[in-house]
Structure 1
Amino acid sequence: MGKLLALLAVLCLSQVIGAERIVNCYWGTWANYRSGNGKFDVSNIDAGLCTHLSYSFFGINDNGEIQSLDTWLDYDLGFINQAISLKNQNSNLKVLAVVGGWNEGSTKYSSMSGDWYKRQNFINSALNLLRNHGFDGLDLDWEYPNQRGGNWNDRANFVTLLREIKEAFAPYGYELGIAVGAGESLASASYEIANIAQQVDFINVMTYDFAMASDGQTGFNAPQWAVENAINFWLSQGAPANKLVLGVGTYGRSFQLSDSSQNWPGAPCRGEGSAGSYTGSTGYLGYNEICQNNWHTVFDYDNAAPYAYSGDQWVSFDNVLSVQYKMDFALSKGLAGAMIWSLETDDYRGQCGETYPLLKTINRKLRW
């Protein structure tokens, strides 16, 4: 009997160890419009590096129905069908439709979640989208309940919405994920954490954007202590570790220094850093831009994160070493896995060395 129990224990342990962790790859499809080596389309995706591919973004209309935000790209160019076809390269790949994102805001989602008829419109349109195109599930990225035009009832309505989606998806086996704000102040304002966790398969925690130029000083985009604090808060509020997916930004937040001789973390800044040649947005640089800059780079071990500067330009970001620290933490907590925002700002062309260095670092830690 003792031998039998020991054998069962070994088998159970092997199943836990053998369970594949999630590596969720968000894809901002608009990178198709970038120029030169910043242009990104389905041909640049290595499907073997992801367990999930999150096709971003769809929006909703005022009636709550899901709609394309770029019909020419989604349908005329066939990006949706091309994304689904990646399952021919990796038969285990799950392709998810992502609804929401920062630019969508909160107002329409607040209205939809609080209205039974609009919720049904949302759910029915979601089922049609997934069935008609072959998606494997939905990722709802409402940024954020009870904020940016929402109201306090959003917190309870979000739970109701997720429960109704879960029930509608069950007969089809569709997966349901959400992307959520990470830090305690944002998360506690927006979510009934224990309740939403019961309704979803996984929770993508956006553990980045902890510092911005609007703070008036330089700071780290995703310092290790802030990432750990955020995950520990979610755990403390009843989110199971095996549903939490730790977010990694494949980009940096950039700053224009007030005085180029003051180039340390916490130094005063006068605004956002200059736009990159690929991403074209101030205050934001892709890792594929940062690694080619040849700026003076410092790894700050207190924050387990690097920063770089040149003249009055300063950027904080993640590199291979900082991602390793994050993955070690994810493993120590037994998290479901990791996600990246996003594929098109990793060094996917390998211009600074190997292709997809950050995503491959995640895989080496979690899957290989």
Structure 2
Amino acid sequence: MAKLLALLVILGLSALISGERIVNCYWGTWSNYRSGDGKFDVSNIDANLCTHLSYSFFGINNNGDIQTLDSWLDYDLGFIRQAVDLKHQNPHLKVLAVVGGWNEGSAKYSDMAGDWNKRQNFINSALSLLRNNGFDGLDLDWEYPNQRGGKWEDRSNFVTLLRELKEAFAPYGYELGIAVGAGEATAATSYEIANIAQHVNFINVMTYDFAMASDGQTGFNAPQWAIENAINYWLSQGAPADKLVLGVGSYGRTFQLSDPSQNWPGAPCRGVGGAGMYTGDGGYLGYNEICQNNWHTVFDENNAAPYAFSGDQWVSYDNVLSVQWKMDFALRMNLAGAMMWSIETDDFRGHCGESYPLLKTINRKLRW
């Protein structure tokens, strides 16, 4: 009887673990090259804050084979091995290899998906990458089918590619995820949503970047209404709620105001804001930079999002309160969980309070 009770307890715990909501932590490994307190490596990762760690990025060559984009970092410095070793800290952690990303473009992926031989090269090289390095699965981040040099056939070819990957992964128990454009305009152009959903374990919906300086005016990076519209569109097109992972950006989009006295949402801008002390790119600031700026900050209730400004600089981003709103929505909709792009721009050193305030907010809502 005691053995039976022990077995039931173990099975119960396993069920809880397997049914746990996803907290997918994307990690841009190039943050190792940032200076000062912006430098981020494996030692800065708290493995217990993630159910999945998405190691970003790998690319492909013209034959469809997956290739490293930084062999010195991946292998000479041993970042892949160190990332996989985080499973010693959290035995339930899944470490995924992420292939693609914005900088990889779309044309090579379009060619690969539409060519049987190149698809097989991709699939076989994926199996080798996962098996040889101890990864638990693959996250395919093609930005985007039928866009940026792609073609209409990408939509159906993407379904074929995912189906073949799923079949190849099945004997090994590898997970298969994808990262997708969120809004209806992008999603309707790029995806046969109901069909791709059949072949993946989860779908990371990139619910951010809804406003950019190229719009000519300030706007919110991830307003609540926009993420709700995006998720509702994916659901309406046949994506199961329990496969949708809500994206949270740990960064803000920045704008240079045309007139510093006009500093409200929708005010005219003349271009991107200045580069941050860590990230170093115009138009973009990490939350770890924003929280130290001491700019004038406003929380916009209509958009459930903050913005901040100083002089002619303006930024829209997420903070603890807006992330709470997003997680409440994810819970109401019974979504699979949340992902963060990306953990190295959260306040991981705790300069503005506790370490990882945004990632911990996600965990407090979804897991703790």
Counterpart in the other structure of 1:78: 78
Counterpart in the other structure of 1:19: 19
Counterpart in the other structure of 2:309: 309
Change beyond 3 A, Cα 1:17–1:116: closer
CA distance in 2, matches of 1:19, 1:364: 16
Counterpart in the other structure of 1:275: 275
CA distance in 1, matches of 2:191, 2:27: 25
Counterpart in the other structure of 1:5: none
- Count residues with an aligned counterpart: 357
- Counterpart amino acid of 2:79? F
Q: Please report the TM-score for the alignment, with normalisation by the length of structure 1.
A: 0.96
Q: Percent identity?
A: 84
Counterpart in the other structure of 2:44: 44
Counterpart in the other structure of 1:241: 241
Show the 5 A alignment for 1:200-349.
200-349=200-349
CA deviation digits over 1:88-121, x for unaligned, max 9? 0000000000000000000000000000000000
Counterpart in the other structure of 2:135: 135
CA deviation digits over 1:313-367, x for unaligned, max 9? 0000000000000000000000000000001000000000000000000000000
CA distance in 1, matches of 2:281, 2:25: 22
- Counterpart amino acid of 1:22? I
List structure 1 segments (4+ residues) > 3 angstroms apart after TM superposition.
15-18
CA deviation digits over 1:28-65, x for unaligned, max 9? 00000000000000000000000000000000000000
Counterpart in the other structure of 2:124: 124
Displacement after TM superposition at 1:18 (Å) = 8.4
Counterpart in the other structure of 1:182: 182
Change beyond 3 A, Cα 1:18–1:196: closer
CA distance in 1, matches of 2:193, 2:17: 27
- Counterpart amino acid of 1:294? N
CA deviation digits over 1:202-243, x for unaligned, max 9? 000000000000000000000000000000000000000000
Q: Please state whether the residue corresponding to 1:303 is helix, strand or coil.
A: coil
CA distance in 2, matches of 1:268, 1:201: 42
CA distance in 1, matches of 2:106, 2:133: 26
- Counterpart amino acid of 1:88? H
CA distance in 1, matches of 2:199, 2:282: 37
- Counterpart amino acid of 1:66? I
Supply the RMSD in Å over aligned alpha carbons: 1.4
Displacement after TM superposition at 1:19 (Å) = 2.1
Counterpart in the other structure of 1:32: 32
Q: Does 1:153 align with 2:153?
A: yes
CA distance in 1, matches of 2:71, 2:175: 24
Displacement after TM superposition at 1:17 (Å) = 11
- Counterpart amino acid of 2:56? S
Displacement after TM superposition at 1:16 (Å) = 8.1
- Counterpart amino acid of 1:135? F
CA distance in 2, matches of 1:43, 1:258: 42
CA distance in 2, matches of 1:165, 1:18: 22
CA distance in 1, matches of 2:123, 2:19: 30
CA deviation digits over 1:190-209, x for unaligned, max 9? 00000000000000000000
- Counterpart amino acid of 1:86? L
Q: Please state whether the residue corresponding to 1:87 is helix, strand or coil.
A: helix
- Counterpart amino acid of 2:294? N
CA distance in 2, matches of 1:17, 1:336: 13
CA distance in 2, matches of 1:72, 1:47: 23
- Counterpart amino acid of 2:31? A
Q: Please state whether the residue corresponding to 2:303 is helix, strand or coil.
A: coil
Q: Which segments of 5 or more consecutive residues in structure 2 lack a partner in the other structure?
A: 1-10
- Counterpart amino acid of 1:129? L
Counterpart in the other structure of 2:7: none
CA distance in 2, matches of 1:123, 1:151: 21
- Counterpart amino acid of 1:354? E
CA distance in 1, matches of 2:273, 2:48: 34
Counterpart in the other structure of 1:354: 354
Counterpart in the other structure of 1:3: none
Counterpart in the other structure of 1:104: 104
CA distance in 1, matches of 2:235, 2:16: 19
Q: Does 1:144 align with 2:138?
A: no
Q: Please state whether the residue corresponding to 1:195 is helix, strand or coil.
A: helix
Counterpart in the other structure of 1:7: none
Q: Please state whether the residue corresponding to 1:275 is helix, strand or coil.
A: coil
Q: Please state whether the residue corresponding to 1:235 is helix, strand or coil.
A: helix
Q: Please state whether the residue corresponding to 1:185 is helix, strand or coil.
A: helix
Q: Please report the TM-score for the alignment, with normalisation by the length of structure 2.
A: 0.96
CA distance in 2, matches of 1:222, 1:296: 19
CA distance in 1, matches of 2:16, 2:83: 30
